[in-house]
Amino acid sequence: MEKMIDRTKEEAKKKLKEMGYYYTKEKKLRQIKNDEKFEFVNQKHYEELGDLIVEYIYEQLVVEYKMEEIWLPLEKDLKFSENYKENIEESELEKIRTNIFISKEFEKKEKLMLLICGSGAVRAGQWARSLCINIDLNTGGVFPFLEEAEKQNCGVIIFNPNLTSVLITTKKKSFWKKQKRLMHKFL
């Protein structure tokens, strides 16, 4: 199972328009109705817009900057137990993964730029949610760094340290009882 989202369909861009917003060529968020900046409505609206902007940034990384989205760990690396597929629901496997973005042939470059966002609600490609909303994506996102990396012939990896939740449920309680026994043995 590889979790793949077709970012080329630009679904986030469409949803952003449905919410009444768009990004200009200068990467500034504007309201469709009056071309004004973001106007705070309530926290729920702000959070929904922020989540949508993350998806929009992901689309830009793939479509405009030609980066590849990779989901980690790879399925072959998820085999932490001989019978993990019997114990973990397929839908739960997605909850223990995170995505990163890599530039084409990054491994062949002499120089490599690693981009890691800070903590909080920000995700890969984003420095600060509020800057992406209130200023522009160049200030709140990694796009200027990607353009400089291109000029410098650097490979790029964009990490996503804030998308790392581990939520595992099992069909068989015996699996976890066995895991607990093993842990007590080593503690």
CA–CA distance, 60 with 93 (Å, rounded to integer): 26
Give the pLDDT confidence of 107-127 residue by residue, as tens digits.
Answer: 999 999 999 988 888 899 999
pLDDT of residue 155 exceeding 90, the answer is yes
Regarding predicted confidence, which is higher, 93 or 59?
59
Residue 21 neighbours by CB under 8 Å, 6+ apart: 29, 30, 31, 32, 38, 49
pTM of the entire predicted model: 0.77
pLDDT at residue 90, as a whole number = 62
CA–CA distance, 62 with 73 (Å, rounded to integer): 20
Give the pLDDT confidence of 60-93 residue by residue, as tens digits.
Answer: 999 999 999 988 876 666 655 555 555 566 666 6
pLDDT at residue 170, as a whole number = 46
CA–CA distance, 175 with 169 (Å, rounded to integer): 11
Residues in the chain: 187
Let me know if 101 is exposed, middle or buried by CB neighbors in 10 A (0-12, 13-18, 19+). buried
Averaged pLDDT, 16-45: 95
pLDDT of residue 179 exceeding 70, the answer is no
CA–CA distance, 3 with 93 (Å, rounded to integer): 10
Output the six-digit token pair for 16.
Answer: 């952003």
pLDDT of residue 178 exceeding 90, the answer is no
